[in-house]
Amino acid sequence: MPTLERLRADHADALLAFERANRAYFARSVPDRGDAYFAGFPARHQALLAEQDAGLCHFHVVLDEAGELIGRVNLVDVADGQAELGYRIGESAAGRGVATASVRELCRLAATTYGLVSLTAVTTLDNPASRTVLRRNGFTAAGSLTIDGRPGIRYRRASLAD
């Protein structure tokens, strides 16, 4: 099963390689990060670490049994016991339960380590795998929205105590 590690400075090279290797794969289901993301990655990585140090976000990398970075799961906009969940699992790990297990572990950490009580998440309607991961982890539909011009749905897990 995958392992989560809190994002650190020494993850930068592996994380950038992961994002580059999976860019086209991710762009099929989520908005592309754009060229500026990759060009400015070192500064962006440092900014994420600063946000994490301030307690505004909690970023994690997902590692396989061999220690290879295969995904990321994050809690952003942390405030008042709540946060928004986001995740990306690389193409090589897709369809193996990695996303479901990683989200499950992050929900546990959200409650036990970060003291959160509820989470939200969003995904596009044309991303059934992501919707399945959220439902398997106790999230329920909480409204529709538009994500980068595509119809989407907001999910909520009202209690992390479950």
User: Is the CB of residue 74 less than 8 Å from the CB of residue 15?
Assistant: no
Confirm whether 89 is domain-assigned: yes
Residues in the chain: 162
Confirm whether 74 is domain-assigned: yes
The DSSP bridge partners found for residue 69 are 63
CATH of the domain at 104: 3.40.630.30
The pLDDT value recorded for residue 162 is 66
Distant-in-sequence, close-in-space partners of 160: CB < 8 Å, separation ≥ 6: 107, 108, 110, 111, 116, 117, 118, 119
How many Cβ atoms are within 10 Å of 8's Cβ, its own excluded?
Answer: 13
Confirm whether 81 is domain-assigned: yes
Confirm whether 162 is domain-assigned: no
pLDDT, mean of residues 115-134: 95
User: Is the CB of residue 93 less than 8 Å from the CB of residue 71?
Assistant: yes
User: Is the CB of residue 15 less than 8 Å from the CB of residue 59?
Assistant: no
Q: What is the pLDDT of residues 24-63, one digit of tens each?
A: 999 888 878 899 999 999 999 999 999 999 999 999 999 9
Q: Say how many domains are in the chain.
A: 1
DSSP letter at 137 equals: T
Q: What CA–CA distance (Å, rounded) separates 148 from 162?
A: 32
- Which residues constitute the domain of residue 119? 3-157
The DSSP bridge partners found for residue 121 are 155
- In the predicted structure, residue 81 carries a pLDDT above the cut 90: yes
Confirm whether 11 is domain-assigned: yes
Sign of CA dihedral 95, 100, 101, 105: positive
